[in-house]
Structure 1
Amino acid sequence: MYAKVFFQLNLSFSLGLYTKLHKSSLYLEPSKLRETLKFFLSSRASIV
């Protein structure tokens, strides 16, 4: 039960973070964006 809620929160947070980064990607360094994208994908993989 707790794990399910945690995963849902983690997923929504990751999606929110990704959307936020996607909108402000013009202001970010490419390396930083790539690093964060890698983190996003790894967190998605841990959920699925």
Structure 2
Amino acid sequence: MKLITLHKDWWDLIAGRIPGRKAEEIERFWIMKNSEGFAERRRQSKKRNS
């Protein structure tokens, strides 16, 4: 539970530095920009483990 709280606070801190943005918007943007990189790493990891 503490990890979730810390994670939420992280997005709030970032949003506080960007006028007019909410924490949820910042988190969604980050996930969308980085989701392909995570998928590629998963594919590479599966190839190595096979």
Q: Same fold (TM over 0.5)?
A: no
**Structure ranking higher in helix proportion:** 1
Q: Structure with the greater relative contact order (CA < 8 A, sep ≥ 6): 1 or 2?
A: 1
Length-normalised TM-score, structure 1: 0.37
Specify the structure having the higher radius of gyration (Cα): 2
